[in-house]
A = this chain, B = another copy of it.
Amino acid sequence: MNQTEHHTSAPHIAIEPWAISEPEFNPSQAALHETLFTLGNGQIGVRGAHDEGDIWAGTAQNDVFMNGFYESEPIVYPESAYGFAKANQFIVRVPNATGITFKIDGVAFNPNVGELTEYSRRMDFQTGVLTREYVWTAESGQQVRVRSERLVSFSHMAVVAVRYAVTPLNFTGEITLISSISNLPRAVKAGDDPRVGASLGGLLNYVAFKSSDNFSAFTHRTHHSDLEVVSSAMHATAPASTSHDEQQARFVFDHIAEVGQTISIVKFAAYISSQSVSKDLMVDAAHSALSAAHAIGFDGLVAEQTTYLADFWRNANVEIGGDVSLQQGMHFSQFHLLQSAGRDGKTNIAAKGVTGAGYDGHYFWDTEIYVLPFFLHTRPEIARKLLEYRASTLDAARTRAREMAHDKGALYPWRTITGPECSSYFPAGTAQYHINADIAYAIRQYTDVTGDTSFLLEQGAEVVFETARIWPALGQFDANGQFGIYTVTGPDEYTALVNNNLFTNAMARHHMQFAVNIVAWLSKDHPATLESLREKIGLTSEEIAVWQDAAAHMKLPYDAERGLHAQDDAFFDKPVWDFANAPKDKYPLLLHYHPLVIYRHQVCKQPDVVLALLLLGHEFNNEDKKRDYDYYEAITTHDSSLSSCIFSIMAADVGYTEKAYDYFMQTARLDLDNLHHNTQHGVHAAALAGSWMSVVYGFAGMRSFGGHAKFSPFLPAQWTHYQFVIRIKKRLLQVRVEAERAVYTLLEGDALKITHKGMEIEVVAEQDCVMTL
């Protein structure tokens, strides 16, 4: 609501529940739609650029990404200091192996000459296929119908498939289809906006090209990070001719087609990175992947994809009755989340998923605090993989802790790809120490909600202990015996370097308590594991006692007179931002005011106290929650895409159902309506997940803290009903909320105790549990 027109208007997407489609090609929205129409599988992301490439006007980011495939570069500071992050990692494009274009009688397709009609493009959330059609009339008057279909396979993680068909409508002549793999440069300009990713202009270095029969594979290498990628292709039928140089291979298919005769090719492309396969085996791995895809065929891949997605929706679908636009936003969000999540234990969810290079493809706390709940309750095996990723970078976090003068423990980076700190502005980066507590919180949630303790035993406990060690080093017991934590930044990036940030302190308290509880549990149930862990990391009983003590006496700043939690010790001292006289065109503030101006005021970019009220809601009473909500809502600009969903949930929590709905409207179609004016750089993964949370945590009031699901649902007045499923403790529970009642149905698993509006009930198989609202 504080957003103003920036440079890109809202996309033109037809409203329907299970797909997005564009009824026309609009160059001014090309970059934006490329983001929306991105296909991915958590490992590969193919932006929705056109098969024929840059010849389409406005095509800005004809990019293919692999999750976590990065280049690295030293960070050069105009004024450096000890301990500043030394090198950046940033996602780089891999070669585009999906391209196909055509000629008719030797004349190359060009959408900018002749006439383009009957254009449509559609991405289907149930088949996972992106379909595009148009009729092109060349200057010669020759007319063809073109249809292409694309998918990025969920069952063959290396594979992208394209079916491309051309039908001459008013002539008989030569149809030449040209398929390619291209590693082409692109100019990218940098600006002042810190949210845009670093340069993507650089090319990968050529290493090798291998071609045999119907298989061709490039190997390219990054300049600094020593990563290699194989981009390869195999066609359903072998091309008539193949040619290549170091950056591009072309596969030519010639046909004489009669009027009405459809000429088509099917292309399978495979990507293998040296991050998952050793360099000498990459080409073989690509060949295997392509051979398998070739054997299944395009229709077979579509069938697999449809099956995969049917299963996904069965476990995840949120149904919204009475608003197709929001239903579409919800499905879009869920589909893109599925596409975004790395699931190999070595990759994670970038701020932009696999849809763009915004925020350099970095992983943030967004994963643990915003995105993980969705997977935890729909695809817990993916949630576990996301946590395994963090565990896999524990050594890097230990190294960072040493750089930050901690002689023990681990400090996770604010932003990274493979583990090292990549934040180059520490007041809103490394200073956000709460990342450690966020990860511990996620580990606890995973363990409690799934009931799976194996992750905790195998990796989680070590992560929790090592990260907990940082807290005592960041503070001390004050004169009143309270433990304080100094010079940190909380989630709200409009305030930096403060003492006793409430969110940080509350989360640190939870973190240390959790660590102490794990020790007790291990000591009782797995003493050998505890002993070996103690030995491995040198954990002492004194340390554990300090955790207990610091947690027990953690300072949470509170203004007793007003009954308000303070965001930090000094927050209430500062003047409140002059909202009354703030020009509308000065939002988001970060693009119009120096950080010093913003930091000097009571003004929040996003929830901080309010987020603590959600995550640790059981630690706060309802009166405080409501007062805190009222106070902080009035001073929050929601300049972060992480804001509206939390305010939606907490508005519901404190009883503001209309506000809850309004905020939900800000997040449910955030990318579809380009509300933050930067979706061209990629989707906002955390906000996508926020849409899901707004319904499940917000409208349905679910909390699963400790592994017990509590609900407190209401139905927004605008809807007829809504319905969703959640996984908890190996059960699959369906929740349907109608005007006057909630219906709980156990779809899988044993009887489950839940709480409905404060009343504990047991849901058993084959029997709807109907409760009044």
Residues of chain A whose beta carbon lies under 8 Å from any beta carbon of chain B: 75-84, 88, 192, 194, 403-405, 423-427, 429-431, 474-476, 478, 484, 486-487, 496-497, 499, 569-570, 573-575, 590-597, 599-600
Contacts of A83 in B (CB 8 A): 593-597
* Chain B residues, CB < 8 A from A75: 78
Closest residue of B by beta carbon distance from A499: B570
What are 27 contact pairs spanning A and B, CB under 8 A? A75-B78, A76-B78, A77-B77, A77-B78, A78-B88, A79-B194, A79-B423, A81-B590, A81-B594, A81-B595, A82-B591, A83-B596, A403-B594, A404-B597, A426-B594, A427-B427, A427-B497, A430-B596, A476-B574, A478-B573, A484-B573, A486-B570, A486-B573, A486-B574, A487-B596, A497-B497, A497-B599
Other-chain contact of A599, B487, B595, B600 (Cβ < 8 Å): B487
Q: A404-B594, A575-B475, A596-B404 are in contact. Are A497 and B499 (CB under 8 A)?
A: no
Is the CB–CB distance between A80 and B573 below 8 Å? no
Question: Which of B79, B570, B594, B600 makes the CB contact (< 8 A) with A424?
Answer: B79
Per the bound structure, the CA–CA distance linking A499 and B569 in Å amounts to 11
Copies of this chain in its oligomeric complex: 2
Whether A592 contacts B192 by the Cβ 8 Å rule is: no
Q: Is the CB of B593 within 8 A of A82?
A: yes
A431 to B600, CA, bound (A): 11
Instruction: Give the docked Cα–Cα distance between A94 and B424 (Å).
Output: 35
- Chain B neighbourhood of A478, CB < 8 A: 573
In the complex, the answer to whether B486 meets A590 with C-beta atoms within 8 Å is no
- With contacts A497-B599, A569-B570, A599-B487 taken as known, whether A194 is within 8 angstroms of B81 at the C-beta atoms is yes
Please give me the residue from chain B that is nearest to A594 by CB atom.
B83
Residues of B within 8 A of A475 (CB): 575
B592 touches A82 (CB 8 A): yes
Complex: chain B residue closest to A83, CB-CB: B594
Among B88, B192, B600, point to the contact of A81 (Cβ < 8 A). Answer: B192
Report the minimum CB–CB distance from A201 to chain B (whole Å): 15
Whole-angstrom distance from the CB of A448 to the nearest CB of chain B?
Answer: 32
A590 to B569, CA, bound (A): 26
Instruction: Give the docked Cα–Cα distance between A596 and B478 (Å).
Output: 20
CB of B593 within 8 A of CB of A499, answer no
Assembly CA distance A539 to B410 (angstroms): 55
B425 touches A573 (CB 8 A): no
A496 in contact with B499 given A76-B78, A83-B593, A484-B573 (CB within 8 Å): no
Residues of B within 8 A of A82 (CB): 192, 590-595
B575 adjacent to A486 (CB under 8 Å)? yes
| Inter-subunit contact A425/B81 (CB<8 Å) | yes
Chain B residue, CB-CB nearest to A404: B594
Verify A474–B600 contact, CB threshold 8 A: yes
- Provide the residues of chain B in CB contact with A597, threshold 8 Å: 83, 404-405
Q: Kindly state the separation between the CA atoms of A427 and B592 in the bound complex, as whole angstroms.
A: 18
Residues of B within 8 A of A80 (CB): 192, 194
Q: Do the beta carbons of A596 and B79 come within 8 Å of each other?
A: no
Docked-complex contact B423 and A486, CB < 8 angstroms:
no
Closest partner residue, chain B, to A574 (CB atom): B486
List chain B residues, Cβ under 8 A from A430: 594, 596
Beta-carbon contact of B404 and A573 below 8 Å: no
Residues of chain B with a CB closer than 8 A to A78's CB: 75-77, 88, 424-425
Q: Which residues of B contact A573 (CB under 8 A)?
A: 478, 484, 486, 499, 569
Q: Which of B426, B476, B499 contacts A596 (CB 8 A)?
A: B426
Q: Apart from A82-B594, A474-B600, what are 18 other A-B pairs with CB-CB below 8 Å? A: A75-B78, A76-B78, A78-B88, A78-B424, A80-B192, A81-B194, A81-B595, A82-B592, A82-B593, A82-B595, A83-B593, A405-B597, A427-B497, A475-B575, A486-B573, A487-B599, A499-B573, A499-B574
Chain B positions within 8 Å of A405 at CB level: 593-594, 597
How far is B82's CA from A84's CA once the two chains are assembled, in angstroms? 21
Instruction: Give the CA-CA distance A84 to B429 in the complex, in Å.
Output: 17
Report the separation of the CA atoms of residues A192 and B430 in the bound assembly, to the nearest whole angstrom. Answer: 18
A194: chain B residues at CB < 8 Å are: 79-81
How far apart are the CA atoms of A707 and B82 in the complex, in Å? 44
Distance of A197 from chain B, by nearest CB (Å): 11
